[in-house]
Amino acid sequence: MTLDELLDTFEFFDDWEDKYRFIIDLGKELPGLPDVDKTEDHLIRGCQSQVWLTYESTDEQLRFNMDSDAHIVRGLIAVVLIAIQNRSAADIQRLDIEEIFSQLDLLAHLSVTRGNGLRAMVSRVKEVARGYAT
């Protein structure tokens, strides 16, 4: 799914229960991480649930893999991945993910701790991108 498709799909739903279910369904489609990658080194600090992140750089693009032990968080991970996946480090640095969250009205419908966790994920992704930016 592209970012434009995600934004269009969100506009299709009238209420937040439907959007919430859609986010959870997105999370169900994530491949997840093997247990060997669910280590302390890959854990993102600041999330209410456990969230792990791995990444690789190929052809000047970054590819992220993330997983969580919570269904809604897996859905939020899917939203983040749709926004950032297979972009260059410079593109990720320039991307205003907060604006995407605003367009989705996402943070207004999450608990403070879930919102902070979402921002922690984005912060870690941008930190990785800074390490690859040229």
Active-site positions read 47
| Rounded Cα–Cα distance for residues 126 and 53 (Å) | 12
Contact predicate 130/89, CB 8 Å: yes
CA-closest candidate to residue 127, choices 92, 84, 83, 101: 92
> Taking the CA of residue 114 as centre, how many other CA atoms within 13 Å lie in the half-sphere pointing to its CB?
16
| Rounded Cα–Cα distance for residues 65 and 87 (Å) | 13
Cα Rg of the chain, angstroms = 14
CA-closest candidate to residue 78, choices 66, 69, 61, 86: 66
